[in-house]
Amino acid sequence: MTALHTGATVAETYREAFQSFPERVALVLPDGGHWTYAELQRRVQRMARGLRALGLQHQEGLAVLTGNRPEALVVLIACAWLGLRQTALHPLGALDDQAFVLQDAGIAALVVDARFAERGQALQARARQEGLPLRHVLGLGPSDVGEDLVAASAAQDGAALPIAARPEDIYRVTYTGGTTGRAKGVVHRHRTTLTMLLQQLAGWEWPEELRFLIATPISHAGGAMVLPTLLRGGTLVLLDGYQPERFLQAVQRHRITATFLVPTQIYGLLDFPGLEQWDRSSLRYVLYGAAPMAPARLAEAIRRLGPIFGQLYGQAEAPMTISYLRTHEHDLAQPERLQSCGRPLLGNQVRLLDAQGQEVAVGAVGELCVRSPLVMEGYLHRPDATCEAFAGDWLHTGDMARRDADGYLYLVDRAKDMVITGGFNVYSSEVEACLALHPAVAQAAVIGMPDAKWGEAVVALVVLKPGASATPQALMDFVHAHKGALHTPKQLWLEPQLPVTPLGKIDKKALRGRFWDGQARQVG
C-alpha cells in the first residue's frame, strides 16, 4: 500500500508542462531566438541521454558552476529526469569551500560554464590530489575545462526518455554556512520542491500573461521560478548578470510581466538615473526576498514602480514559501506592515517558541519554528546538527520573530548571526574562524551593519595579539585569499577589546548597537 502515497517527482511535473504547451515559447535565447516547450523537451532528452552515456548512475551527484545560460537550465532539468542529485557551487565561493562541497556531496560530475574554466581546472586538480569522487569535468560549450557537454548531447536522440527519478530520491543538496566554519549540505527530496511549487502556485499572485525575467542565478533563487512559470504556460527570459540598464532593457524589449529581485537589485533600479526613460508598463509583479529590505526604500519602490510587490520568506532548510506578504498588504497607509514578512502559506505550521519550547504570547519575540512538507530531510552527514535543528519535532529556523494580533510575522534578529548581503548568506562564524587563522589576531567578531547597497554589509572588529601588528586592509586581504569576495568584510576595525556578556561570550548585541541603534533590523 505504500506506493499509493509516494507522490510525484519534479521530472513528471516538467513533463506535464512540456506536454501541455508544446507550441508556446518556453525560453527566449540571448541571440533573440527562442525555444518552444517541445524544443526544450527535446534538448532535455538529449542532455539526459548524454549524461547517461557518461556512466552516471541513479542518485549520483552532479554539481554546476554556471551563469544564467539556457544550456545550464537544460542540465538541471535533465538531472531531475535521471534521478541525479544536483548541487550548485557558489560562483563567488573560495576554492577550498567548493572542493569541500565536491567531497562532502560525493559529486561524480561537475558542469562548468566557460567563464569559470580556470576554477573548474583547479577543482579537477584538487580532486586528483585529494582522491575526490569527481570523475567528469564538463564544459557548457567549447573550453579548456573538459568535454563539451552541449556538443556531446546534441548528437543524442531527442525522443522521449523514461523518467528514472523516484519520489523518494534526493532531488538536490543545497549548501549553506555552518557554525563550525564548514558548510552544511541541506538535503531535499522531490517532496520539498513539489510542496514549494504548490505553495507558489496557490499563494503567489501570478499575472495571467506570464513572461518571467530571471535576474538572479538559476543556481540560486532564480531557479525556483522556472517550474511555476512553465506550469502556467509562461515564457522565461534569462538575464546573465544583473545591471539596472540591462534589466530595464529586457523588461521593455520582452514586455516582461513578472520577476524576482533581491533588495539590492531594487535599490539599484531606484538609484539608476535613467529609470524613467524605459517603458516598464508591462511589469505587473515583482517578487522580492532573500535579504533585508529597508521599509523606507520599499515605500519608495512602491511609490515609483507601483503596487506590484510581493514579499517571500524562507530559508535553505524550508525554501521560499514559509510566509508571504501579498501585494495589497504593501499598504503605504500602514507603514508598519512594510516591516512584516507576511503570514504563513497554506500547509505550513509556524510557531514562535521560547528557549523551553513553549509558544510565546502575541507580540512577544520567539524563535520562528516550522512544521511542513516544505521542510528539509536533514543535513547531509550531520546527524547531530539535524537533531538540533529538529528539536521538539519543529524545524528551528534560527530567526527571531514576533507575531501581531492579525497573524503577521515580523523578523527581528537572527539567532545564528547570519548576515544576508546582496541576497547571499554569510555566517559570521566562518569569517571569524578565518580571521583567527591570522597570526596577529587574538579575537574577532563579525556582524552585519546596515548598508544602502547590500542591505547588510559584512564588517569585522578585531583585537590583535599583544605586540602584533596588522593593518585592516591586510586582514581583509587575508580573508579574501582564504574565503573569497563574498565573505570579505567591507570594513574592518582594530579594537583594544571586545565587550563580553556575563557568561564571557562576545556581546554581539552591544556591537550591533553601534550600527543599528535607532533602526529596526529588517530581515526578510
Give, for 399, the enclosing helix (H) or strand (E). strand 395-403
The pTM of the whole model exceeds 0.85: no
Tell me, what's the pLDDT at 417?
Answer: 72
Q: What are phi and psi of 298, to 5 degrees?
A: -65, -45
pLDDT band at 100 (very low <50, low <70, confident <90, very high): very high
pLDDT band at 412 (very low <50, low <70, confident <90, very high): confident
Does position 508 have pLDDT exceeding 90, yes or no?
no
Q: Residues 401-428: what's their mean pLDDT?
A: 84
pLDDT tens-digit map of 303-316: 999 999 999 999 99
Contact 266, 295 (CB under 8 A): no
Tell me, what's the pLDDT at 514?
Answer: 82
C-alpha–C-alpha distance, residues 414 and 508, integer Å = 11
pLDDT band at 180 (very low <50, low <70, confident <90, very high): very low
Q: For the chain, how big is the Rg over CA atoms in Å?
A: 23
Find the angle CA(429)-CA(433)-CA(438) to the nearest 5 degrees.
150
pLDDT tens-digit map of 116-151: 999 999 999 999 999 999 999 999 999 889 899 999
Domains 29-166 and 193-414 share a fold: yes
Please determine, looking at this structure, whether the domain spanning 29-166 carries the CATH number 3.40.50.980: yes
Q: Residues 318-324: what's their mean pLDDT?
A: 97
Ordered by start, the domain boundaries in the chain are 29-166, 193-414, 418-516
- What is the grid cell recorded at 92? 563567488
Contact 297, 167 (CB under 8 A): no
Give, for 39, the enclosing helix (H) or strand (E). helix 37-53
Percent of the chain with pLDDT over 70: 94
pLDDT tens-digit map of 449-480: 888 888 889 999 998 988 989 999 999 999 99
CATH classification code of 418-516? 3.30.300.30
Does position 383 have pLDDT exceeding 90, yes or no?
yes
pLDDT band at 188 (very low <50, low <70, confident <90, very high): very high
Q: Residues 263-287: what's their mean pLDDT?
A: 92
Tell me, what's the pLDDT at 282?
Answer: 98
DSSP 352: E
HSE, CB side, 13 Å, CA atoms: give it for residue 104. Answer: 23
Does position 354 have pLDDT exceeding 80, yes or no?
yes
Q: Residues 256-267: what's their mean pLDDT?
A: 91
Tell me, what's the pLDDT at 356?
Answer: 93
Does position 244 have pLDDT exceeding 60, yes or no?
yes
pLDDT band at 502 (very low <50, low <70, confident <90, very high): very low
Q: In Å, what is the CA distance from 479 to each residue of 77, 94, 430, 484?
A: 36, 10, 10, 7
Tell me, what's the pLDDT at 507?
Answer: 81
C-alpha–C-alpha distance, residues 87 and 316, integer Å = 13
pLDDT tens-digit map of 8-48: 999 999 999 999 999 999 999 998 899 999 999 999 999 99
Q: Residues 500-504: what's their mean pLDDT?
A: 51
Tell me, what's the pLDDT at 429?
Answer: 75
Q: In Å, what is the CA distance from 349 to each residue of 319, 322, 516?
A: 14, 9, 31
Question: From the CB of residue 240, how many other CB atoms can be counted at a distance below 10 Å?
Answer: 18
Q: Residues 59-84: what's their mean pLDDT?
A: 97
HSE, CB side, 13 Å, CA atoms: give it for residue 517. Answer: 5
The overall average pLDDT reported for the chain is 91
- Cell 545591471 belongs to 243
C-alpha–C-alpha distance, residues 197 and 228, integer Å = 6
Tell me, what's the pLDDT at 517?
Answer: 64
HSE, CB side, 13 Å, CA atoms: give it for residue 126. Answer: 17
> Which amino acid, residue 38?
A
C-alpha–C-alpha distance, residues 109 and 152, integer Å = 15
User: Helix (H) and strand (E) counts for the chain?
Assistant: 15, 26
pLDDT band at 524 (very low <50, low <70, confident <90, very high): very low
Does position 398 have pLDDT exceeding 50, yes or no?
yes
Percent of the chain with pLDDT over 90: 71
pLDDT band at 523 (very low <50, low <70, confident <90, very high): very low
- What is the grid cell recorded at 157? 536522440
465 Rama class: left (phi>0) / alpha (psi -120 to 50) / beta: beta
Please determine, looking at this structure, whether the domain spanning 193-414 carries the CATH number 3.40.50.12780: yes
Q: Residues 313-332: what's their mean pLDDT?
A: 96
Q: Estimate to the nearest angstrom the gap between the alpha carbon of 179 and the chain centroid.
A: 18
C-alpha–C-alpha distance, residues 248 and 280, integer Å = 7
Does position 290 have pLDDT exceeding 60, yes or no?
yes
